[in-house]
Amino acid sequence: MHGLGAFLAIAGGNAAIVMLPWFRALGVVGLAGFVAFVALPGDYSGLLERIAVYPILITQFIAGVAVLRARPARLTGAREPRL
């Protein structure tokens, strides 16, 4: 079950990233890392797994920062400018 869940999360996460124009390169790197991880078992499996997973985490982090920066001023406690 762990293997199936990991497969779906890594392949699906990177496939979703490829659909986003701003992060497409990260998704391609992640998918390439995933394919290499599956095709080349051995000494570098840990490195290849991280190459497959980190683009998902990086995309989530950047998207989270963008959402937090785009919050309306009333939610941050800052004064809204008068027009």
pLDDT in tens, 12-44: 999 999 999 989 999 999 999 999 999 998 899
The full DSSP string for 34-59 is: HHHHHH--STTHHHHHHHHHHHHHHH
Cβ atoms of residues 26 and 55 within 8 Å? yes
Tokens 């497959």 appear where? 52
Q: What DSSP designation does 71 have?
A: S
∠ Cα 9 20 63 (to 5°): 75
pLDDT value, residue 35: 95
pTM here?
Answer: 0.80
Domain ranges of the chain: 2-72
Confidence of residue 70 (pLDDT cuts 50, 70, 90): confident
User: 4 is written with which tokens?
Assistant: 């199936």
The mean pLDDT value for 38-51 works out to 92
Lowest mean pLDDT segment, chosen from 22-26, 57-61, 64-68? 64-68
